[in-house]
Amino acid sequence: MKAKIAIVYVSTHHGNTKKVVEAMSEERACDLYPADRAKDVDFSEYDVVGFASGVYFQSLSPAIIQLAKDIELDARQRTFIVYTAGIDFKNYAASVERILREKAGTYVGRYSCRGYDTWGPFGLFGGIGRKHPTDKELLKAREFIKALQGSAD
The answer to whether 114 and 129 are in contact (CB under 8 A) is yes
Whether 65 has a pLDDT exceeding 80, the answer reads yes
Write out the E strands in 35-144.
48-56, 59-60, 78-85, 106-114
* 124 pLDDT tier (thresholds 50, 70, 90): very low
Provide mean pLDDT across the span 61-83: 94
The answer to whether 111 and 85 are in contact (CB under 8 A) is no
Q: Structural domain tally of the chain? A: 1
The answer to whether 8 and 40 are in contact (CB under 8 A) is no
* 53 pLDDT tier (thresholds 50, 70, 90): very high
The answer to whether 17 and 84 are in contact (CB under 8 A) is yes
> What does the pLDDT look like over 85-111, one tens digit per residue?
877 778 999 999 999 999 888 999 999
Q: Residue 3 has what DSSP assignment?
A: P
Nearest to 14 by CA among 54, 59, 65: 54
Task: Look up the pTM and report it.
Answer: 0.89
Which structural domain, as residue segments, surrounds residue 128?
5-152
* Cα distance between the two ends of the chain: 7
Average pLDDT, the chain: 86
The answer to whether 9 and 35 are in contact (CB under 8 A) is yes
Provide mean pLDDT across the span 18-25: 95
Whether 120 has a pLDDT exceeding 70, the answer reads no
pLDDT of residue 85: 82
pLDDT of residue 121: 57
The least confident of 12-21, 46-55, 73-82 is 12-21
CATH number, residue 64 = 3.40.50.360
